[in-house]
Amino acid sequence: MPAKESMRIGHSYDIHRLVSGRPLILGGVQIPHETGLLGHSDADCLLHAIADALLGAAGLSDIGQQFPDTDPAYQGADSQVLLQKVHALITQKGYCVVNIDATLVAQAPKLAPYLFAMRQNIARCLHILVEAINVKVRTHEGLDAIGNKEAIAAWAVCLIDQREPVQ
């Protein structure tokens, strides 16, 4: 007989194009830069990757299914609101978030000074301690579109569990 299901993992990836005339928002933090990410919402690829990882872990498909970009309600949407909605969805299924590990891949700008503020935003959206969120950043060694400053990508892995969250 299989063990009772409790913990589940999820992972995801997102990438958005960098263009002029858009704000650069990552992890809910607006970062001064000459270009920003293009997308239907605020194009926050870090929060999209985290949201998708959580939905995947809970067996709830992805943010494209949950929040279609054909829906005008999500035009210019703050992705922190999307992440809060994802938290509500996984909570309805009886899960809480144990931890998240994410990696931003950006050639520019330097993101290290903003990582703690990103973690605070993510922790607030998911009702967990900031220590449960890890965000790190890598360059793309000048290679391909990311290395040429034409895009920023993010990877995320999460663990969810059917237990009371530590708050």
Q: Interface residues with Mg ion (CB under 5 A)?
A: 14, 48
Say how many residues make up the chain. Answer: 167
**Between 33 and 98, whose beta carbon lies closer to Mg ion?**
33
What minimum distance in Å lies between the beta carbon of 154 and Mg ion? 9
Q: How many CB atoms lie within 10 A of CB 89?
A: 16
Which residue number places its CB atom closest to Mg ion? 48
**Between 36 and 96, whose beta carbon lies closer to Mg ion?**
36
> DSSP characters for the chain?
-PPPP--EEEEEEEEEEEETTS-EEETTEEE--S-EE-SSS---HHHHHHHHHHHHHTT---HHHHS-TT-GGGTT--HHHHHHHHHHHHHHTT-EEEEEEEEEE-SSS--GGGHHHHHHHHHHHHTS-GGGEEEEEE--TT-HHHHTTSEEEEEEEEEEESSPPP-
What minimum distance in Å lies between the beta carbon of 97 and Mg ion? 20
**Between 57 and 83, whose beta carbon lies closer to Mg ion?**
83
Nearest CA-CA partner of 50 in 90, 7, 14, 6: 14
What minimum distance in Å lies between the beta carbon of 8 and Mg ion? 22
What minimum distance in Å lies between the beta carbon of 48 and Mg ion? 4
What minimum distance in Å lies between the beta carbon of 52 and Mg ion? 8
**Between 51 and 98, whose beta carbon lies closer to Mg ion?**
51
